[in-house]
Amino acid sequence: MTGAAGATLIGLLFVTVTLVSGLSRSQSTAGIRAFLTPTLLNFSSVLFQALVVLASWPSNRAAGVFFILTGLASLAYRISIMRFKRALDFIDVQPYDWIPYDAIPMLGSMSLIAGGAGLLIGSSFAPYAIAAASILLLAGGVYGAWDLTLWMITNRKDT
Quick check: is 70 in a domain?
Answer: yes
Q: How many domains does the chain have?
A: 1
Q: pTM score, two decimals?
A: 0.80
Quick check: is 39 in a domain?
Answer: yes
Q: Tens digit of pLDDT for each residue in 31-61?
A: 666 677 888 888 888 888 988 988 888 899 9
The residue range of the domain holding 99 is 2-154
Q: Tens digit of pLDDT for each residue in 63-90?
A: 999 999 999 999 999 888 887 777 666 5
49 phi and psi angles, rounded to 5 deg: -60, -45
98 phi and psi angles, rounded to 5 deg: -65, -25
Label residue 109 exposed, middle or buried (CB < 10 Å: 0-12, 13-18, 19+).
Answer: buried
Quick check: is 159 in a domain?
Answer: no
